Amino acid sequence: KDLDKGLEKTKTNIFGKLSRAVAGKSTVDVEVLDELEQILISSDVGLETTIKIIERIEARIARDKYINTKELNSILRDEIVQLLAENNTQDLEDFFPPTDKKPYIILVVGVNGVGKTTTIGKLAYQFKKAGKKVVLGAGDTFRAAAVDQLGIWAERVGCDFYSKGMNTDPAAVAYETVQYAMNNDCDVAIIDTAGRLHTKLNLMKELTKIKNSIDKKLPEAPHDVMLVLDATTGQNAIEQATKFTEATDVKSLALTKLDGTAKGGVAIGISDQFKIPIKYIGVGEGIEQLQVFNKRAFVDSLFK
Ligand code: GDP
């Protein structure tokens, strides 16, 4: 239900326009395809991904001779699911990923304001609900508010919290959070980082240092490096993804605030462009309004 509501604006945007584009037409012609291209671009699917989708539909028209406008929706839906499937090969079934790693270490990266703290809090809540012992590590040591906010979330969720306060070395906080998790039988540690987008080289150095210190304490960790992006920021989100993927080995995405945008198509574009699976989506401010990303459910909800 949250997902349907969260995607409402995007749905109205895409399909309102699409139904106007095909009004009075029986087959999908060049005009409809041009219109579809504009619609997808305007919902932030991204140029490259849009072109890919259009080309696939053209290929089907070439194969089947023509496409009835009534079939366009279901064809579009199939193509988007297929596109998402290329990167999201295995959608999570539950919030906690299947893993034999204990403690499982998640390093969370992303710029300020995208909903990083909220997403960490919501995740901790779900992990706790699934019976996991959780610790949050306050690795964003540049903002006092970041440390405080994370502490508040830990209290709200009822999970452990590791902090050395602000202006401390984030790599040391990360290392000690892992140590804390190992010493206290935690199933999972979620480590926050500062969202400063300075130069690419600085970002790279900072994240590398944090990753190395985690790995020194626990080989092969962090097991996940999750980039949080704000779906309402469109091209900015793409720019951020470019910078972070160049700076570090981003393994998964969390896309927040899908409820606040008519351009939820950005989920499709980003996953395709960066070849990174989307793990979680934020569909509201509430503690329960984080969902495991499921490509089929996402697309179904869009086309409902
Ligand atoms: P941070 O600076 O990246 O840590 O961002 P915060 O976690 O403090 O979030 C910034 C704002 O975005 C807060 O007001 C959150 O309540 C809001 N927010 C986070 N996720 C979502 C979401 O999925 N939907 C909506 N509508 N708001 C969200």
Task: Return the residue whose CA atom lies nearest to atom 5 of ligand 1.
Answer: 115
Cβ of 114 below 6 Å from ligand 1: yes
- What value does the mean pLDDT of the chain take? 93
List, in sequence order, the alpha helices (H) in the chain.
2-6, 8-22, 30-42, 47-64, 69-87, 116-129, 144-157, 170-183, 200-217, 235-247, 266-274, 295-303
Select the more confidently predicted residue: 40 or 144.
40
Write the ipTM: 0.99
Average pLDDT over residues 195-210: 86
| Those residues with Cβ within 8 angstroms of residue 129's Cβ, 6 or more apart along the chain or in another chain | none
| 117 assigned to a ligand binding site | yes
Residue 290 has pLDDT above 90, yes or no: yes
Average pLDDT over residues 288-292: 96
The length of the chain in residues reads 304
Which tokens in the block code for residue 40?
């997808």
| 199 assigned to a ligand binding site | no
Task: Return the residue whose CA atom lies nearest to atom 16 of ligand 1.
Answer: 285
pLDDT > 90: percent of the chain: 80
Residue 16's pLDDT is 86
Residue 201's pLDDT is 84
Cβ of 257 below 6 Å from ligand 1: yes
Q: What 3-state class would DSSP assign to 255?
A: strand
- Indicate the top mutation candidate among 8, 111, 118, 228 to test ligand 1's pocket, ranked by most ligand atoms within 8 A of CB: 118
Residue 198 has pLDDT above 80, yes or no: no
Task: Return the residue whose CA atom lies nearest to atom 27 of ligand 1.
Answer: 285
**Parallel, antiparallel or unpaired: strands 134-137 and 160-162:** parallel
The pLDDT-based confidence of 234 (bands split at 50, 70, 90) is: confident
CA of 69 to the centre of ligand 1 (A): 39
| Those residues with Cβ within 8 angstroms of residue 244's Cβ, 6 or more apart along the chain or in another chain | 109, 110, 203, 227, 250
